[in-house]
Chain A
């Protein structure tokens, strides 16, 4: 329907005001909820079981002579060895700061892993004076594989080669009962 020119002038000149208040309410509620439930400190954990040994298990081990890879942290050095002489023992001196040389330990363990790709466990025998910080750093070096490490593969149940993601994931403290 045609409108008079005077009426036509008013059509569409009024601005539409969007009601943003409910949207604001939603945003404020969402931001408050997210801030309240957010974890600002991200924690992680390194799990280790309490070592247990029954006489039968010990007798079986002595028969089988497994690798039983052991990392001994001493005052000035770290030794990577096997009680059944499955690998050549290697002593790695500590860094000038007096902490274990995690990079060198990791490099040696990668070599061992290439020799024994199915081995998962490592026994730690730390000296009583080693700091918890150094211990966690060393455990990281022992448990994890870096992106720069060579690819180590194992055969899966279906016979397919699988690249390993972890170096020696099972860490056990071997000297909890001793007091030295």
Chain B
């Protein structure tokens, strides 16, 4: 018996001394499947439009992909322009901590008969002036050699529960600040 054991041990030693080879074939199979799936469902975005946590966007069947533009986000808490909070909605007893806001602004925040949001107007005017200054300094010119005009496009990302009344105030304010086109951002409906 001891002689037989020693032979087996020696054989095992021989096997172990051979180079260890990892079986990668099955792993490659998995990777190929993942890669094919990713390539099939791959879609990139041409814009840097963002959303915020808790924002419930509406769904649209429109096929137009939004391009980059200045963006205003309306959440139950307030209005944000380019990632900076511009105005806060009134939070009452019912809406505090709740998902649904009041979408009402303080009287001091609005003027022109309750149509214009003052803080948003000032921010949008500053943004327009900055954009115009950048375009004036840019080497790109039109046919007559003048700087390219301000495009005046504002992307509006809003919570689906807001009322048109609030949206109208924002459009009025943006229009007064020189923005002429609105892009209502929505989630694309899967077809």
Contact = CB atoms under 8 A, between A and B. Distances in A.
B124 interface: no
A65 to B, nearest CB: 27
A27 B28 contact: yes
A24 B124 CA distance: 50
A173 B171 CA distance: 10
B140 interface: no
What bracket does the count of chain B residues touching chain A fall in? 35 or more
A131 B161 contact: yes
B73 interface: no
B160 A132 contact: yes
B43 interface: yes
A34 B187 CA distance: 21
Interface residues of A, number: 46
Interface string A59-99: 00000000000000100000000000000000000000000
Contact of A21 (B24, B31, B35): B24
Interface string A1-35: 00000000000000001001101100110110011
Interface string B152-183: 00010011111111011001101100011111
The 6 closest A-B pairs by CB, nearest first: A128-B165, A133-B160, A39-B45, A45-B66, A136-B58, A27-B31
Interface of B: 21, 24-25, 27-28, 31-32, 34-35, 38-39, 41-45, 47, 49, 51, 58-66, 113-115, 155, 158-165, 167-168, 171-172, 174-175, 179-189
Interface of A: 17, 20-21, 23-24, 27-28, 30-31, 34-35, 37-39, 41-50, 52, 73, 126-133, 135-137, 139-140, 143-144, 173, 175-177, 179
